[in-house]
Amino acid sequence: MKAYYQKSKRLPWDAEKKKEEIFETKMRFIVCFDNDKIVGFTAFMFDIEDKRPVLYLYELQIIKEYQHYGIGHFLMSLMNQIAKNVGMSHVMLTVFTHNEIAMNFYLKKCSYVIDSFSPSKSGKTGFDYEILSKKILVN
């Protein structure tokens, strides 16, 4: 992830800020193991964005040799189910536009859309990230 931040003009890498974010008391994690080896994780928090109750995904990371086995898609399905179970209206996340693999994954494979809250949807220019969201249908 650090490399994507280093390419960004708007969201530069800040190790201390990232550490604070990850150790935020409201942050929740799901960690995937292969025996005793951590192979991936999500970090998420329940929040209010643009007056909507959301599950905000801060991190989804799968180590390279475990990518393309469905782990990321499975974790995103869990995010959707957790959001539904606790009454959130959306799952949201921020993704760098230069992270083409992630953009494709979220938009095409997970059916996320660029949120109206995203800089590109509000006419702002010069941003190298998008805010994506998926509406959660509650029974």
Residue pLDDT, tens place only, 24-55 = 899 999 999 999 999 999 999 999 988 999 99
User: What is the pTM for the complete model shown?
Assistant: 0.85
pLDDT given for residue 137 in this prediction: 83
pLDDT given for residue 1 in this prediction: 54
**Among 35, 77, 71, which residue's Cα sits nearest to residue 57?**
77
Query: How many structural domains compose the chain?
Result: 1
The whole-number average pLDDT for the span 116-135 is 87
Asked if the model's pLDDT at residue 138 lies above 90, the reply is no
User: Please, what's the b/e burial string for 52-80 (b: 16 or more CB within 10 A of its CB; e: otherwise)?
Assistant: eebbbbbbbebeeebeeeebbeebbeebb
Pairing state of beta strands 90-96 and 129-135? Answer: antiparallel
CATH of the domain at 76: 3.40.630.30
Q: Which residues pair with 55 in a beta bridge?
A: 46, 91
Contact 21, 28 (CB under 8 A): no
For residue 116, give its domain range. 2-135
Q: End-to-end alpha-carbon separation of the chain, Å? A: 36
